[in-house]
Amino acid sequence: MAIANKNIIFVAGLGGIGLDTSREIVKSGPKNLVILDRIENPTAIAELKAINPKVTVTFYPYDVTVPVAETTKLLKTIFAKLKTVDLLINGAGILDDHQIERTIAVNFTGTVNTTTAIMEFWDKRKGGPGGVIANICSVTGFNAIYQVPVYSASKAAALSFTNSLARLAPITGVTAYSINPGITRTPLVHKFNSWLDVEPRVGELLLEHPTQTTLECAQNFVKAIEANQNGAIWQLDLGRLISVEWTKHWDSHI
């Protein structure tokens, strides 16, 4: 999918990985980039607008933990303005295993609810045009950072959900793939709580091993958007972009 002239909604487009990705997206010249994030950041929005004045960058405050009806209301406003939306990026995430309920609500339920809400506008069974969903999951959904078992599990859930979405594409018309960054040097990683403080130095320890920058991650993110492969499980780690083959242990046969 060429980004040029497309309409894109980016949830958490001002976040640690989000902001650099928004910058890269804007460079590729979409028609609209609609950023939804919890906290407004007028400086960042102004910077994005300046990168490519031909792109319409807009911002709406959005907390992914709101009830799905509120998300629907916001999407109604956005669809009314843009008419069509080509790509939804779900990127909201927190990393703090002291906050069990909030981790699950943001990283897992938030992704499911935002997706569920947009189906009303996209689902081909309702006469919708279909669409594309890129969910930011994590390599910790493949294999956990076991010191943050709740975070890792919430990402395993987001990944599984995304894989299912892709298989539902023939029914819904909505394709999906997951973006799974490895350890990326964002403020998130420097200091965070492990579950029951099993490892107080987990952030430090992670950063003693090879990592990648948010820019490397963002550039590969844009490549994955351009590849536009339904069902792809993209691993964005150490500056590389790899397509992961999921192991089949079991098959529902339906």
Q: Applying CB under 8 A, which residues contact its own copies?
A: 68, 100-101, 104, 108-109, 112-113, 116, 119, 123, 139-147, 149-150, 152-161, 163-165, 167-168, 171-172, 182-183, 195-196, 198-199, 202, 205-206, 208-209, 235, 237, 244, 246-254
CA-based torsion, 210, 246, 94, 43: positive or negative:
positive
| Residue where the block lists tokens 């492969």 | 229
Q: CB atoms < 10 A from the CB of 248, how many?
A: 6
- What is the rounded CA–CA span in Å between residue 8 and residue 25? 9
CA-closest candidate to residue 172, choices 103, 88, 100: 88
Of 148 and 218, CB closest to its own copies:
148
- What is the rounded CA–CA span in Å between residue 192 and residue 200? 8
From the list 60, 146, 151, 177, the catalytic residue is 151
Using DSSP's 3-state secondary structure scheme, residue 243 falls into: strand
Is 151 among the residues known to form the active site? Answer: yes
Confirm whether residue 14 is marked as ligand binding. Answer: yes
Distance in Å, CB of 148 to its own copies, minimum: 8
For 130, residues 6+ apart whose C-beta sits below 8 A from its C-beta are 122, 124, 172, 173, 174, 175
Of 39 and 254, CB closest to its own copies:
254
Of 83 and 208, CB closest to its own copies:
208
Which residues, listed in sequence order, are joined to residue 131 by a DSSP beta bridge?
174
Of 84 and 116, CB closest to its own copies:
116
Distance in Å, CB of 128 to its own copies, minimum: 12
Confirm whether residue 55 is marked as ligand binding. Answer: no
Distance in Å, CB of 73 to its own copies, minimum: 18
Distance in Å, CB of 113 to its own copies, minimum: 7
Confirm whether residue 23 is marked as ligand binding. Answer: yes
Of 62 and 161, CB closest to its own copies:
161
- What is the rounded CA–CA span in Å between residue 87 and residue 7? 7
- What is the rounded CA–CA span in Å between residue 136 and residue 92? 8
Confirm whether residue 21 is marked as ligand binding. Answer: yes
Distance in Å, CB of 33 to its own copies, minimum: 27
Confirm whether residue 42 is marked as ligand binding. Answer: no
CA-closest candidate to residue 58, choices 130, 7, 121, 117: 7
Indicate the annotated binding residues.
10-39, 63, 138, 155
Looking at the annotation, which residues are catalytic?
151
Binding-site residues for NAD(+) sit at 10-39, 63, 155
